[in-house]
Structure 1
Amino acid sequence: MFARTERLLLRPGWGEDAPALFNAIADEAIVDKLPGTPWPYRAEDAEAYLARDRKPGELPELLIYARTHGAPRLVGGIALREDGEEGAELDYWIARPCWGLGFATEAGKAVVDMARDGLRLRSLRSGHFVDNPASGRVLEKLGFVPTGEVEERWSAVRGEKVDCLMYALAA
């Protein structure tokens, strides 16, 4: 699956994206907010992520590229992960130099539309670590509302489970 917005191109990652992926995500401040992502993040991790087998019909895992007058620039990643039979969980990250530019909201809107209109998913949820309120603001802009649930998620940077505030997309 691909999506194009005013400023972004969202597409699956390819093997040749490994150096750009590594350079964008291998930042402690980013991985600190990504449950389940290894730390330290190595070039081999980017290569392995991009080389894994993907089956037809799997939910999309996309890289976010800023469209420029030259070559597009990798600014993050966004994915839908299975969450029950007819639902998914939205996950995303943005490279630190691009924080505060609205890329997460713009990419998130495209993927939420994809989930509802193209994939016809019945429910979407997401979450953020309690010390990452900026992600909560992104989710609220996308129409998610807090559920009041807290889940523990593993942070490799911290070496422990961290409370994650959960959200659901309002119907």
Structure 2
Amino acid sequence: MLFGIDLGHGCDFDGGAVGIRREEDLINETGELVIAKLSKAGHRIIRTRPLKANSTKHSLQQRCDIANYHECEIFISIHFNSFTPTANGVETFAISEIGWKYAENICKNIAQLGYTDRGAKNGRIYYVLRNTKMPAIIVEGCFITNKKDMALFSAENTSDAILEGILSASSPSG
């Protein structure tokens, strides 16, 4: 399969949220492992993070344009959440039926690492979900502002859980 993998944020003006750890650091650590593992499993990857953007909207549009141009089969945007110190857990967002299957599988697999399962949710408000031409999801791996979530976090384990969720959703019985 051809996956559009979006390492969220990452532009000069947008490093994502900051909590106990920096969101961009977790995105890069986890995302690079997901890309390597998907490639090793025989899948093709298109990276959608733009090299340069002058605004958030420009950055988001470029991500969609890259995925659409390459006709990716699935678009997955990797992020980590931020809120109050008590907010915790993993959640995913999707709007298409196929996207929901991926979102539910990935969320369930990450939750099995010990995180609260906040579930797969309707992501109609998200630009990249509305403007990609393929099933698309956003993964919010855990809360960077929560001590328990950060104590549980491992890029290796999280990338394994994302990979397993992708592969199970991609299988004919998934």
* TM-score normalised by the chain length of structure 2: 0.28
* TM-score normalised by the chain length of structure 1: 0.28
Q: Which has the higher contact order (CA 8 A, sep 6+)?
A: 2
| Greater helix content | 2
